[in-house]
Amino acid sequence: MARQEHELPMVTEDWGWKYHHLGIPTSIKMPNERYIAQFKFYISGFTESPFGIEWMRFDLDSPMHELIPFIKEFRLFRPENYLGIMPISNLFNI
């Protein structure tokens, strides 16, 4: 049976994951950007946002999957017992 609108998704209800942040691609230079050289993109906003919003601005030759800079948003969840930083390459098969 399909999940009802009032029900939580499996990753939060059954697996115990918690919302971590929302990545939003942009082509606009944002304040306090930090460059991730390995993946050729800039991030900003996460540490200041009460909602966990992180802006992502990509170089044209970024090795990230070509669709990622164009999606409206990218939500990241993490398991409740996860205490470290997951390498971004694990998320994107790079």
Q: How far apart are CA 74 and CA 93, in angstroms?
A: 15
What is the largest distance, in Å, between two alpha-carbon atoms of the chain? 45
Q: What distance in Å separates the CA atoms of residue 15 and residue 38, rounded to the nearest whole number?
A: 31
- Tens digit of pLDDT per residue, the chain (94 long)? 688 888 888 878 888 888 788 888 888 999 999 999 999 999 999 889 888 888 999 999 999 888 777 775 555 555 555 444 444 445 444 4
The SS3 assignment for 22 reads strand
Residue-range domain boundaries for the chain: 10-92
